[in-house]
């Protein structure tokens, strides 16, 4: 996005995701149905408001909690979790509105996800755990640290996430280096009014103009898309998106007194080319910062064995 564009318009060269990623996100959000879980694959705990939170638990040893990104689920962590499970007890959970965690009531916000993380630690009786978050999950970890401190935190790992997702005249390290709060709020507001139109525009943007005639409101596919999305309850996820836009952890992260590792993707469509690594090194001098040259926004998913081995080494040395 650029500052000269109207709210809600994405820069042609900087998409949040490709077509495959968009379809995967819709599936993980439950908008294309959910994949049945195998018997015994997931356990669950009840949050304080009654929301069941599904969790995949693997391995034995000191605990590591894995938090996924927006439009993902615990499944994105499974290659890492299986390798980590040789030495650690791993907990990979589906955040509200994602995977198999269908919201039962209430508003979903980043603060609520931070509280869910604390309640997961309570439920599984984890006095100290390593917290690993990707993208939105990294923000949820930052939210937990802001609210609760590090008394129950052995170490922190943040994957390809800025402490503030929007940019302004004083902060150039948000999405794309030029995505303002007004732009994202405009996109969210548009989705509240016309979810089908907003998604159709995104599909056209990532798939090319050839699909545009098929996505018009008077086309067969366009009519089907609008009928289908008319049955989707998107408000809780849009509430969550608004809370992500408002989040700002630039002041609290420098006070972090737990070991920190930051992993960035050099080809990330979100932050590639931005000196986010330098900001983390300056803001948190004890941080270990790694950039994966071939990785995009999800280094843990594109290079899971490397990520798992480096995470295990970091835990062994610092936690």
pTM comes to 0.85
C-alpha–C-alpha distance, residues 277 and 293, integer Å:
13
C-alpha–C-alpha distance, residues 283 and 48, integer Å:
34
**Tokens 């615990």, located at residue:** 74
Tens digit of each residue's pLDDT (9 = 90 or more) over 168-220: 999 999 999 999 999 999 988 988 888 777 776 766 665 566 766 766 777 77
C-alpha–C-alpha distance, residues 26 and 199, integer Å:
10
% of residues, the chain, pLDDT over 70: 80
Q: Are 153 and 132 in contact (CB under 8 A)?
A: no
Query: Which of 130, 174, 98 lies closest to 311, judged by CA?
Result: 130
Residue 23 has pLDDT above 50, yes or no: no
User: Quick one: pLDDT at residue 229?
Assistant: 64
Residue 10 has pLDDT above 60, yes or no: no
Q: Are 270 and 70 in contact (CB under 8 A)?
A: no
Encoded tokens for 187: 């996109």
Q: Where are the domains of the chain?
A: 19-318
% of residues, the chain, pLDDT over 90: 66
DSSP 60-128: SSEEEEEE--TT--GGGGHHHHHHHTTTEEEEEEPPTTSTT----SS---HHHHHHHHHHHHHHTT-SS
User: Quick one: pLDDT at residue 5?
Assistant: 30
C-alpha–C-alpha distance, residues 32 and 196, integer Å:
14
Decide: helix, strand or coil at residue 243: helix
Highest mean pLDDT, choosing among 16-30, 92-106, 110-124, 212-226? 110-124
Query: Strands, DSSP E only, in 178-301?
Result: 260-265, 288-292
Residue 29 has pLDDT above 80, yes or no: no
Ranking 37-41, 141-145, 235-239, 307-311 by mean pLDDT, the lowest is 37-41
Tens digit of each residue's pLDDT (9 = 90 or more) over 218-239: 777 777 767 766 666 678 889 9
Q: In terms of CATH, what superfamily is 19-318?
A: Alpha/Beta hydrolase fold, catalytic domain (3.40.50.1820)
Dihedrals phi, psi of 160, to nearest 5 degrees: 45, 60
pLDDT averaged over every residue in the chain: 85
Residue 307 has pLDDT above 50, yes or no: yes
Length of the chain: 319
């Amino acid at each position: 996005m650029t500052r000269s564009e109207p709210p809600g318009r994405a820069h042609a060269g900087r998409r949040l995701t490709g077509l495959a990623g968009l379809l995967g996100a819709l599936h993980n959000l439950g908008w294309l149905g959910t994949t049945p879980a195998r018997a015994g694959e997931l356990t669950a705990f009840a949050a304080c408001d009654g929301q069941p939170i599904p969790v995949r638990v693997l391995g034995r040893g000191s605990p590591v909690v894995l938090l996924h990104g927006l439009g993902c689920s615990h499944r994105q962590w499974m290659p890492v979790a299986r390798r980590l499970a040789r030495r650690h007890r791993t907990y990979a959970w589906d955040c509200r509105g994602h995977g198999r965690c269908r919201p039962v009531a209430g508003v979903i916000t980043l603060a609520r996800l931070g509280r869910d993380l604390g309640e997961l630690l309570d439920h599984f009786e984890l006095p100290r755990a390593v917290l690993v978050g990707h993208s939105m999950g990294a923000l949820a970890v930052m939210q937990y640290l802001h609210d609760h401190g590090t008394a129950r935190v052995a170490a922190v790992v943040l994957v390809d996430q800025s402490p503030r997702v929007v940019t302004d005249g004083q902060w150039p390290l948000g999405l794309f280096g030029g995505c303002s709060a007004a732009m994202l709020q405009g996109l969210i507001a548009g989705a509240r009014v016309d979810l089908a139109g907003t998604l159709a525009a995104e599909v056209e943007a990532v798939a090319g103009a050839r699909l545009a005639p098929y996505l018009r409101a008077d086309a067969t596919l366009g009519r089907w898309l609008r009928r289908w999305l008319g049955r989707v309850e998107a408000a809780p996820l849009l509430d969550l998106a608004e809370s992500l836009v408002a989040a700002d952890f630039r002041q609290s992260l420098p006070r972090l007194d737990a070991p920190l590792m930051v992993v960035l993707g050099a080809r990330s469509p979100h932050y590639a080319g931005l000196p986010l690594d330098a900001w983390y090194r300056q803001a948190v001098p004890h941080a270990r910062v790694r950039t994966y040259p071939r990785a995009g926004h999800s280094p843990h998913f594109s290079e899971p064995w490397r990520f798992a081995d480096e995470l295990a080494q970091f835990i062994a040395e610092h936690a």
